[in-house]
Structure 1
């Protein structure tokens, strides 16, 4: 059974940087990570952020282009395709991708915004209906979280 972790942010911003932190944490733990976004623009933005979100960090990553010969442990993409590695999915799309069930763990990040929280509740119900193991985490202080990870 796959696990889904919902991270509830206390602010309406910071989702991209939080996704970078979670990708770094998962990669450091030895996992392959796929960050699924809603668009090419968001994918490119995260590609840039993974180089710069911390002064002392480097996360080996690439934008997923459908090629199954991926060498980077972290990939970023959008659309219906996903890489073959199936460990951690960070879903930034706003809806559950069709391939989510291929991953052992799914990370959902929810900003403190009524519309986005309602969509997250819908995803929560869908995961629950499909017998995922669900965990909730409330992140009250993003700056403190960034500095501690």
Structure 2
């Protein structure tokens, strides 16, 4: 059974949250895939992951790179697991993949200040539960710490 974590972003944007979650995944020894629905967003996140911190960067590539299979983190707009990742991050409305069971963990990050994003996340939650995956819902408290809500 795959763990599916839903992160309700309200206090911080994706660009602030995603690098930390990916770093924690790499610390566990997991490879990661980050799926976005559009090439423009992929390009923006690609740039951001190199520059998000003066003290760190996330080694990564895109699914267009010839060495994508060797990268610890791969950004993609499509299905598939180009680097044999254990965790898949789904952002900007990317849906839970048909091969969800192939991952140890899926992380759905959604903008809690966007009604359309909330509706998509609720739909993905229902699909995840029907498919028999273990789903949890996380929301930030006033101090910025993630709290498990469901």
The answer for the alignment partner of 1:90 in structure 2 is: 89
After superposition, what is the alpha-carbon deviation per residue over 1:45-92, rounded to whole angstroms, capped at 9, x for unaligned? 111111111111121100112868622111111123331513000011
Could you list the runs of 5+ residues in structure 2 that have no partner in the other structure? none
Distance 2:110 2:92 in 1: 11
Quickly say closer, same or farther: Cα 1:92–1:69, change in 2 above 3 A: closer
Structure with more relative contact order (C-alpha pairs < 8 Å, separation 6 or more): 1
Q: Cα RMSD over matched residues? A: 2.2
The answer for the alignment partner of 2:75 in structure 1 is: 76
Quickly say closer, same or farther: Cα 1:4–1:85, change in 2 above 3 A: same
Quickly say closer, same or farther: Cα 1:141–1:78, change in 2 above 3 A: farther
Distance 1:138 1:29 in 2: 22
Segment of structure 1 superposing worse, 21-30 or 46-55: 21-30
When the two structures are superposed, what TM-score results if normalisation uses the length of structure 2? 0.84
The answer for the alignment partner of 1:2 in structure 2 is: 2
Quickly say closer, same or farther: Cα 1:117–1:86, change in 2 above 3 A: same
Cα distance, 1:101 vs structure 2: 3.0
Secondary structure, aligned partner of 2:69: coil
Cα distance, 1:15 vs structure 2: 1.6
The answer for the alignment partner of 2:34 in structure 1 is: 35
**Is the 8 Å Cα contact of residues 34 and 77 (structure 1) preserved in structure 2?**
yes
**Is the 8 Å Cα contact of residues 27 and 73 (structure 1) preserved in structure 2?**
yes
Quickly say closer, same or farther: Cα 1:142–1:76, change in 2 above 3 A: farther
**Is the 8 Å Cα contact of residues 89 and 103 (structure 1) preserved in structure 2?**
yes
Distance 2:144 2:68 in 1: 36
The answer for the alignment partner of 1:55 in structure 2 is: 54
Secondary structure, aligned partner of 1:70: helix
- State the number of aligned residues: 144
Distance 1:86 1:75 in 2: 9
